[in-house]
Amino acid sequence: MSETVKNKIEEGSGTGPDSNTDKKSDVKIVAFLCNWCSYAGADAAGTSRLRQPENIRIIRLPCSGRVNPLFIIKAFNQGADGVLVSGCHPNDCHYSEGNFYARRRLEFLKEYLPFIGIDKRRFAYQWVSASEAQKWQNVVINFVKRIEDVQAK
Amino acid sequence: MTIENKLKEKIDEIMGDLELLVGYSPSALPLKVNPAFIEKKEETGSLVFNKMCINNLASYIYDLSKSVKGTIGIVLKPCDTRSIIQLASEELIDLKKIKMIVPGCSGVLDYKKIQKHVGGEKIISCKLDGESLAIETISQKHELKAGDFYADKCYWCQVHDNPAHFDEFIENDQKLDIEPREKYADIDAIEGKSIDEIMQYWDEQFSNCIRCYACRNICPLEICRDRCITNLDEPYWQSQRINTEEGKFFQLIRVLHLAGRCTECGECERACPRDIPLSKLMKKSAQITEKLFEYKTGEEPDKKPPFLTFKDVEKNIKEENLS
C-alpha cells in the first residue's frame, strides 16, 4: 500500500482527536478488561470509530475480580510501561460482587507499588460500562498521556 | 520465682488435659533455643523460657492441628498469639482445640544482631545478667548491653504484658524495659528516597535472594504447603532461574499472599540466610491495610480478613477517574 493511500485512510477514519496519531510513542500498556462491560465498551469504541492511541494491548478476562494482582506485577516485570484494569461499575458486576473484591486488591496494590520502586501513576483501575465507548476513549487517551509523562521524566 | 519456673508450674498443672505441648527447650548452641514437643508430664522439666525465645512456635500449629486429635498446648509470647488468632479468623484452625499458654514477655534478643556485632565470629558462650550481656567468641570476649540487641519487633511492642487473647496468662515480674522506637521509621526512610533509588535499593536486596524458601516455610500463615504457586507448572508463574527479577517476584508473591494476614512476627527475616530485610515488605503491607481497611491482623478472631470481604462504599478508597 502506497504511503499516500495509507495517509488517506488514516485521515478518513475516526472522529476523535488527531493529536495522538501525529507522534507515535513507544510506550507499552497492558489492559485487563472485563468481558461483560469494559471489553464490550472498548469494542463499541472501535466500531463507532473513536480514535485511540495504539499503545494498549488488551487482555480479556471474565471479570475484574479475576485479576490477580500478580498479573500486574508480572506485566511490569516483563517490560510493560503501564497497566490498566477496567471493569464494571460497582453494583453492576455480572457476578454481582467480583469488582468489589477487585477494588480492595487493586487499591492495595496501587498503594504498595511505590514502595518497591514502581511509580503509582503507571497503574490505574477504572470502571467503564459497555455503553461508555466515549469514556473508554478518554480513559485510554489520558492514561497513555500519563504514562508518556512518567516516561519522559 | 522466675517466669520460667512459673511457666513450668502452670504447665504441670494443666498437662493432664493436653495431648501435646509445644514449648521451648535448651539448645546446644549459645543464644538459641529449640522447639520442644512434649507428650508426657515427666518431660516438662526440660522446658525453658527466656530472652532467647525469639522463635514463633505458632509456625507448627497448622500442621499439628491437622494431625493431633486432642488438645494442643502451646507456649506463645504475647506477640505470637496474633498468628494463632489470625489463623482462627480465617477458619484454618479451631481455637477450641488449642490452649494458648502465654507468659509475659520482657523482650527477646535477636542473635543475628549479636552475631553481626561480633563480626560474624563463632560464639562459644553467652551469659545474660540483667541488662549486661557477656559474649565469648573463639578469639575474644565482649561485654554488651542487651538493650541494643532486642528483636526489631520488641521496640514497638504493645502487647508484651497484655495479650488480647490467651487461655493461660502468666505474669512476668521482669518488664520490657527498652527505649521504644517508631514502628514505621524504617519504612518512612525508604519512602523518602526517589522512586529510582527505591528500585535500586530493592534490586540490591533481592539480588541476594537464593530462593531457598526458608521465609515461606517458616511463616505461620503461609500454609499453602505443596500448593504454593511457585511450585506450579500450569500456570508457570516462576522460572527456576535465580536472579534479581525472580527473587523480587517471589517476594511479591509472598507479600500479596500475606496482605491483610501477616502478623509481623519477623520469622521470615530471622530465617533468611541472606539477611534480606523482609519484614520491611510486610510492615508496609500492614500499614496499608490499616489505613485502607482499618484492620489490624491477629486481634479479632471473629472479624473477616480484609480481602475476604468488602463494603459497598469504601470510605478510605478514593477512586481516580481518568475520563
What pLDDT, on a 0 to 100 scale, did the predictor assign at position B176? 86
Q: In the predicted model, is pLDDT for residue A9 greater than 60?
A: no
The answer to whether the peptide bond before residue B235 is cis (omega within 30 degrees of 0) is yes
What pLDDT, on a 0 to 100 scale, did the predictor assign at position B279? 94
Q: What is the mean pLDDT of residues A13-28?
A: 61
pLDDT band at B130 (very low <50, low <70, confident <90, very high): confident
Residues of A in contact with B310 (CB under 8 A): 97, 100-101, 103-104
What pLDDT, on a 0 to 100 scale, did the predictor assign at position A23? 60
What pLDDT, on a 0 to 100 scale, did the predictor assign at position B151? 94
What pLDDT, on a 0 to 100 scale, did the predictor assign at position A3? 61
Contact B24/A at CB under 8 A: no
pLDDT band at B4 (very low <50, low <70, confident <90, very high): very high
Residues of B in contact with A143 (CB under 8 A): 322
Identify whether B320 is part of a domain: no
Pairing state of beta strands B72-75 and B123-129? unpaired
Phi-psi region of B228 (alpha: psi -120 to 50; beta: other; left: phi over 0): beta
Residues B117 and B229 in one domain: no
Residues 3 to 62 of A: which have CB under 8 A from any B CB?
none
Q: What is the mean pLDDT of residues A112-137?
A: 96
What pLDDT, on a 0 to 100 scale, did the predictor assign at position B131? 83
Contact A145/B at CB under 8 A: no
Residues B48 and B168 in one domain: yes
Note the pLDDT tens digit of each residue in B293-315. Answer: 999 999 989 999 999 999 999 99
Q: Which residue of A has its CA nearest to B305?
A: A104
Residues B186 and B242 in one domain: yes
Q: In the predicted model, is pLDDT for residue A11 greater than 60?
A: no
CB contact under 8 A, A100 and B253: no
Contact B323/A at CB under 8 A: yes
Residues B301 and B195 in one domain: yes
Q: What is the mean pLDDT of residues B9-31?
A: 93
Residues B145 and B167 in one domain: no
Residues B165 and B203 in one domain: no
Residues of B in contact with A138 (CB under 8 A): 322-323
Percent pLDDT > 90 in chain B is 83
Q: What is the mean pLDDT of residues A47-58?
A: 94
Residues B38 and B89 in one domain: yes
Residues B53 and B14 in one domain: yes
pLDDT band at A68 (very low <50, low <70, confident <90, very high): very high
Helix or strand (DSSP H, E) at B35 = strand B33-38
Residues B79 and B26 in one domain: yes
Q: In the predicted model, is pLDDT for residue A49 greater than 60?
A: yes
B6, three cell numbers = 512459673
Residues with Cβ within 8 Å of residue B322, at least 6 apart in sequence: A124, A126, A138, A139, A142, A143, A146
The CB-side HSE value for B153 (13 A sphere, CA atoms) comes to: 25
Among the partner residues B249, B289, B320, nearest to A77 by beta-carbon distance: B249
Identify whether B172 is part of a domain: yes
Residues of B in contact with A69 (CB under 8 A): 256
Q: Which residue of B has its CA nearest to A105?
A: B307
What pLDDT, on a 0 to 100 scale, did the predictor assign at position B196? 95
| pTM score of the predicted model | 0.91
CB contact under 8 A, A117 and B196: yes
Residues B171 and B70 in one domain: yes
Note the pLDDT tens digit of each residue in B264-284. Answer: 999 999 999 999 999 999 999
Identify whether B317 is part of a domain: no
Identify whether B135 is part of a domain: yes
What pLDDT, on a 0 to 100 scale, did the predictor assign at position A2? 59
Gap between the Cα atoms of B187 and B193, Å rounded: 11
A124/chain B closest Cα distance in angstroms: 8
Identify whether B229 is part of a domain: yes
Pairing state of beta strands A123-127 and A82-87? parallel
What pLDDT, on a 0 to 100 scale, did the predictor assign at position B289? 95
Q: What's chain A look like in SS3?
A: CCHHHHHHHHHHCCCCCCHHHHCCCCCCEEEEEECCCHHHHHHHHHHCCCCCCCCEEEEEECCHHHCCHHHHHHHHHCCCCEEEEEECCCCCCCCCCHHHHHHHHHHHHHHHHHHHCCCHHHEEEEECCCCCHHHHHHHHHHHHHHHHHHHHC
What pLDDT, on a 0 to 100 scale, did the predictor assign at position B234? 87
Q: In the predicted model, is pLDDT for residue A21 greater than 90?
A: no
Starting at the edge strand found earlier in the chain, the sheet holding B72-75 runs B33-38, B20-26, B72-75, B98-103, B168-170
Identify whether B285 is part of a domain: yes
Residues B85 and B202 in one domain: no
Apex B82 CA angle, B173 and B206, nearest 5: 110
Note the pLDDT tens digit of each residue in B144-185. Answer: 998 889 999 999 998 999 999 999 999 999 888 888 999 999
Q: Which residue of A has its CA nearest to B253?
A: A70
Among the partner residues A100, A115, A127, nearest to B284 by beta-carbon distance: A115
Q: Residue B272: give the domain boundaries.
A: 182-309
Whether ipTM > 0.85 holds is yes
Number of domains forming the structure of chain B: 3
Identify whether B321 is part of a domain: no
Note the pLDDT tens digit of each residue in B239-257. Answer: 888 999 999 999 999 999 9
Gap between the Cα atoms of A89 and A85, Å rounded: 12
Residues B32 and B170 in one domain: yes
Q: In the predicted model, is pLDDT for residue A14 greater than 80?
A: no
Contact A92/B at CB under 8 A: no
Contact A114/B at CB under 8 A: yes
**For testing the chain B interface, which of A56, A86, A104 should be mutated: the one with the most B CBs within 10 Å?**
A104
What pLDDT, on a 0 to 100 scale, did the predictor assign at position A10? 56
Note the pLDDT tens digit of each residue in B75-91. Answer: 999 999 999 999 999 99
Domains assigned to chain A: 26-152 (3.40.50.960)
Identify whether B272 is part of a domain: yes
What pLDDT, on a 0 to 100 scale, did the predictor assign at position B177? 84
What pLDDT, on a 0 to 100 scale, did the predictor assign at position A22? 52
